[in-house]
Structure 1
Amino acid sequence: MGSNQETECIGGVCTTTTRFVDGHGNEVGSKSEEQPRDDYCAKNPSSQQCKQSSFGGACQGGFTCEGDAVQCALAREVYQRNCQWFKDPSPEMKAAGDAAVAGGAQPEGHPGKSGQEVEISLAGQLDQLDRLGGGCPTDVSLSVVGHQVVLPFSQMCSSLNMVGQIAVAICLIWAAIIVFKE
């Protein structure tokens, strides 16, 4: 017969659970013992539950971490990515960016390269085809308690068409507001 122990500390209380197993590995019993965290850590200073994790560092000064290996690995990854993301650009990269913002680094064929305004026509560029096939729904005929009842869906077609056109107009106006907003 054997046993294994597992300890979990939540807040200021540590609970140690001992599981007893037979020769086949089947659990035959268990017991739990609670004690204050300070008492548990005084008896078990090297326990993972008692170690305090900490990390720190600056991009120029290096990285330090103590405690849980997984937390340290995650903290190191975040540290490296932040240092890479926030590093100052090279003078060449900064000069290229400044030139692009000022309008001086336009590629061949760019409309602004000639120095003249270019008119772009959107006529025919906006596709308003009905992707659902369009058309009016047909009337539906149902038999209810021996009587034939017709649901006249075709009469709603003109109203629904008008609602659809209004929805398209609203979307086009909203798109223009987004494009031309200062």
Structure 2
Amino acid sequence: MLRVLSRVPDPRDPRGVRYPLTGLLTVAVCAVLAGASSFAAITDWLHDLDDQARDQLGFGDQIADRPVFRTKGQLAIDICTDAYADGVVFDFAGGDEVYGNCTQLREFFDDRQQAYVLRVASNFMLTLNPETRMTCAKAIALLATDERRWQVRSAGAGSKGQRWYAWACCRTRDVSRAGRVHYQIMTIRGSRADIRLAASAE
């Protein structure tokens, strides 16, 4: 295989070459044949080779450390940590459901008393008190029985007009973090009529 793959011309600029093309191609082919289906898996296959095999492929001791993969929530923690170290102050942090589902990120903000607005799934569990827990969907259904608890506000104009939301505030308590009190914002999105209908019908 090495002999065959050595015939493949190398299109790279010699000034930027770190590893031999023949070795890279051999690793890729063998790793895929062994079941690797991603760049990370191919890298792991290479790291699992013994020193002699790596030498034969032309890598020697030049292989970089295994890559460290981070979730978006963990990357957000890294970014905010650096920002705090530089003296940056946020009024609040915001993010979609990918960040809202990251427990580490929410606890990171809680520990620093950082205000944040992170979207969570409808099945996200809320703790109203030590004895009462329910999903966001259930909490919204309960709040919807009293239309006075909701305020309809626009989140700004979108491609199809105003993005109307109904907002309600719900006090919760995080029993896992020294009983710290939180205020959860519940939202329903739709036209003003749809929102009022949903609030009065449920």
Q: Scaled by the length of structure 1, what TM-score is found?
A: 0.20
Q: Which has the larger radius of gyration?
A: 1
User: Which has a greater percent of helix?
Assistant: 2
